[in-house]
Amino acid sequence: MQVKIACKLTIKVVYSLTNFKEQSIYVMKYAIISDIHGNLEALESVLTEIEKHYVDSLLCLGDVVGYGPNPNECVEVIRDKAEVILAGNHDYAPLGKLDLSYFNPWARNAIEWTADQLSESSKEFLLSLPLKMNLNGFTIVHSTPLNPEQWNYIITIGDAVRNFHEFEGRVCFVGHSHVPMIVSVKNEDYRAIRENPLQIDPDRRYIINVGSVGQPRDLIPRAAYAIYDTTNGTYELFRVDYDIAETQSKIIQSGLPEFLAERLELGQ
């Protein structure tokens, strides 16, 4: 349901809610970010850029912590700025909610380090985060709309095909792989889309990976964030420089695996 007020304000009803009270909200332009991973420098750079877009709402698709040296600081900043924050596997893992054998040795080491660092308040907050949510004609989830608690990835068109029946609305935004990607479908015609910015076709449905703020893995080290404007149906992914050397030096000083510092400048 939409009611237009003037030219820029749209009232939309949030439906099929999880852990979110049903109410009318006044949003139309969203910033969507994911996979911050305790990287405060990347998060702050992204938020500075997002401010210039005058968005109505900031959505975070999870993995606020894990790998990076500032988990509590990232939790504080994001809970202050974002309207909706979902849980990622790295948010649940340091709380003892996931089997650590699922993770590679670097991730496991970082999860144990993060668990030691997290304040009670951060832990309580991360524990309260939902896995999936439906908003204004689109869905957000960290991993996959199908069984999000299994933490599977959408990397190929085949992965996407299995998930198109599992969300409401025209678009599902995901994170988790740290690699931006768009797959679209109309009448069983599935396509990988490279257009950026993208004009959303009202006859197609989309699964869109918004990339990673704090640990990009598409060989581009710059932090990623996305803007989705429901008033004109546009989606655009942006990249922004941040002080990688500062984050790397904090990683090394904190005793986290050196590989986690190296990979930031490689974007992998």
| Closest separation in Å from C-beta 218 to Zn ion | 13
Nearest approach, Cβ of residue 75 and Zn ion (Å): 15
Measured from the Cβ of residue 176, the count of other Cβ atoms closer than 10 Å reads 25
Phi and psi torsions of 233, nearest 5°: 65, 40
Question: Whole-number minimum distance, CB 64 to Zn ion, in Å?
Answer: 10
Chain-centroid distance of CA 85 in Å reads 9
Cβ distance to Zn ion smaller for residue 136 or 209 = 209
Q: Helices in the chain by DSSP H: which ranges?
A: 40-51, 71-81, 89-92, 105-117, 120-127, 157-163, 244-254, 258-266
Nearer to Zn ion, 35 or 49 (CB): 35
The nearest distance, CB 168 to Zn ion, in angstroms, is 24
| Cα 9 from Cα 11, distance rounded (Å) | 7
Residues of the shown chain interacting with Zn ion in the complex, contacts defined by CB under 5 A: 35, 63
Q: With beta carbons less than 8 A apart as the criterion, state whether 34 and 83 touch.
A: no
In whole angstroms, the minimum distance from the beta carbon of 3 to Zn ion comes to 37
Q: Which residue, 49 or 63, has its beta carbon nearer to Zn ion?
A: 63
DSSP type of residue 54: T
Residue number with CB closer to Zn ion (123 or 178): 178
Complex with Zn ion: residue 135 or 175, whichever CB lies closer: 175
Q: Which residues contact 19 (CB under 8 A, 6 or more apart)?
A: 128, 130, 133
